[in-house]
Each structure stands twice: as C-alpha cells, then as structure tokens.
Amino acid sequence: MKLPFLPTTGVGSFPKPDYVTGAKGDLDENSREATREFIKRQEDLGIDVLVDGEFYRGDMATDYYRALGLPIADWTRSYDNRFWKKGIVDRPLRRTAPIQLYQFEFAQGLTERPVKAILTGPTTLANWGFNSHYESREDLVFSWAEIVREEAMDLVKAGAKYVQVDEPAVAERYWETDLFREGLRRVTERLGVYTITHVCYGEFPLVYPNMPKLPVDQIDIELASELDLGSERSTLLQMMKKDPLTKYKDVAVGVIDVRPGVGVEDIGTVKKRIETALEVLAPTDEASKRIWIDPDCGFRTTKNREISYRKMEVMMEAVRQIRSR
C-alpha cells in the first residue's frame, strides 16, 4: 500500500462500549460488534493503518498469562490507585495455542486497509507479572521473547504487514535497556514485515540515546505534552533536535493527549504540535517522510468514546491541512 505524506495510525486500544463487559482476551460477539464499528469509523476518518481497538482485551499482560494457562494472582496494587490481577510464571513458558491471532484475522477481514498486529513485548510481560520459576531476569525476558516471537510469526503468516510490539514498561526500568533491546530483537529479527515499538511514559531523556539501536523500523512515542513545551524548554526535544531519530528510524509522533479529563484539542494546537515535531525531528524533506502521526497512546485511558472520536477527527483534519500545504 502506498502511504501518503505523514501517514496516520492509532496506537491500539479504544474505550469499550457499555455492552462489552468482562473481556478476558477472547473475541466474543460483543467485542466483534465493537470492532466492526471501530474499523468502519477509522476508514471513514481516512486513517491509513488501522488498529482493532482491543475490545477483547482484559489486560495487555495478564491475557498472555491466561492464554498460556498460568495461574493468576488476586488483585495487586501497581501505582497510584491502579489495581490489576497479575499472572504468575511458576513453570517453563510454553505456547500451545495462538494468543491473539484470531482477533487479528477478524479485524483484518473487515477492511481493505492494513490493520496493525499489536503484541505485548517480552520486557513488559516479564515486568507486569510475578515469577517464581526462572532464576534470572534474562531467562524470564528471553523466554517471553520466544512466546511473543512465535505469535508474531503466526500473525505474519496470517497476513500482518505491520507488527507493533508494545513496551510501555521500558522507560520504567531504563537501566535495563540492553536486556530490553535483546528481548525485542529476538521477537522482530527477520520477521520480514514492518516492525514498530510503542513506548510511553517514564524518563524518556534517559532512554532516548538508546532508541537509534532498537531493532525495529519505527519507534512510536508519546510526545504531545513535550511538543507543547516546545524545543526551548523540553530537554527531550533538544536531544531530538541535536540527533534526530529520523536519521535511524521512522518515528510515529503522538500528537493527541489521551489522558482522562483532557478535553478535545483544537486544530490549531494539533497543527502546532505536528509543525514542532517536523522542525525538531525532520531537518530535511527526506527526514520528514519518516514521520507518522498518531495519538500519544491507546484511547482506552480517555474512557470516553465520543471525546476519543472527536480527538481522532481533529488529528486527521490537522494532518490534512498540513499535507495540502
């Protein structure tokens, strides 16, 4: 598929409609219905590479533990007031059945446009669960990498052209960058399709120097707030300006704030964010061809479907105006 200047995409999730309840990783009729609607809305908006909205998902880590038949602990507090049920690795990891292959096939079957296959990365899977089996962090992360790799290969066989490996936990443990990179490499190496990793929140300035070396074609990064700060005040943007990531990778720039309670941005704000991103990351025309535009993260956190749709509309309108210029 030929992509336009500033290709647009999503990061993954979308708020669930009320009728989707109790999702635990399986694609039931309700999550199918929600997926159909969401795919259609993205097509109408003109988004280039679609996402499935993850309506079947319970939790991006625990679903994997469940799919592998591992035990699930009771509610655990993560940070602030967030609780979730962590899985427990108490035996060697083995994948006996696909984890999200059918979900991908269903979504891709609804549209002519490419749908991104979105996997949870090995570092995040290792960090967001308990482990009583593997003796070292390396063994744990690399064992998860094998599982995710097997899943990725099945997705590619099923026609996925874009494979995204989500690693939100990477900036949480920035001192483990080498381990993270090696885990990711074991998933993406020679997959033969376009690969992406999405990273969000945490100490980006500490992670940024390692981004050029990540074994993916595209790095998808939350950036709306930094772009509002501007290159005068944002340390991260200054680092980008000095050594633009587009020298090494395609970069998907998050230009929509998805935090709950943040209202719909006006078009001017989003255009300014895109222009700042181009100024900082794309000093040449060639480099600007490596920039993609998307929201900061999945929309699940906004919790509000209408606000999320309006935010997507504003993003697309801002992109259209910049493209036509």
Residues that bind Zn ion (CB under 5 A): 200, 297
Task: Please tell me what DSSP assigns to residue 96.
Answer: -
187 CB-near residues (< 8 Å, 6+ apart):
119, 121, 122, 145, 148, 149, 152, 165
- Residue among 200 and 253 whose Cβ is closer to Zn ion: 200
- Residue among 143 and 308 whose Cβ is closer to Zn ion: 308
DSSP structure string for 13-35: B-PPPTT--S-SS---HHHHHHH
CB of 286 to Zn ion, least distance (A): 28
CB of 284 to Zn ion, least distance (A): 29
- Residue among 265 and 296 whose Cβ is closer to Zn ion: 296
Q: How far is CA 264 from the centre of its chain?
A: 21
- Residue among 51 and 200 whose Cβ is closer to Zn ion: 200
CA–CA dist 272, 251 (Å, integer) = 17
CB of 2 to Zn ion, least distance (A): 28
- Residue among 154 and 296 whose Cβ is closer to Zn ion: 296
CB of 50 to Zn ion, least distance (A): 17
Q: What type of residue is 270?
A: V
- Residue among 26 and 172 whose Cβ is closer to Zn ion: 172
Strands (E), 185-286: 194-199, 218-221, 250-254
- Residue among 70 and 311 whose Cβ is closer to Zn ion: 311
Give me 130's structure tokens. 């308990």
CB of 268 to Zn ion, least distance (A): 25
- Residue among 100 and 131 whose Cβ is closer to Zn ion: 100
Burial 105-115 (b: 16+ CB within 10 A, else e): bbbbebeeebb
CB of 60 to Zn ion, least distance (A): 10
- Residue among 105 and 166 whose Cβ is closer to Zn ion: 166
Nearest to 35 by CA among 59, 22, 19: 19
CB of 168 to Zn ion, least distance (A): 5
Task: Please tell me what DSSP assigns to residue 189.
Answer: T
Nearest to 199 by CA among 264, 249, 157: 249
CB of 170 to Zn ion, least distance (A): 11
Q: What type of residue is 91?
A: R
Q: What type of residue is 133?
A: H
Neighbours of 80 (CB within 10 A): 6
CB of 12 to Zn ion, least distance (A): 8
Query: Contact, 246 vs 280, CB < 8 A?
Result: no
Alpha-carbon Rg for the chain, nearest whole angstrom, is 19
In the chain, DSSP finds a helix count (H) and a strand count (E) of 12, 9
CA–CA dist 294, 315 (Å, integer) = 8
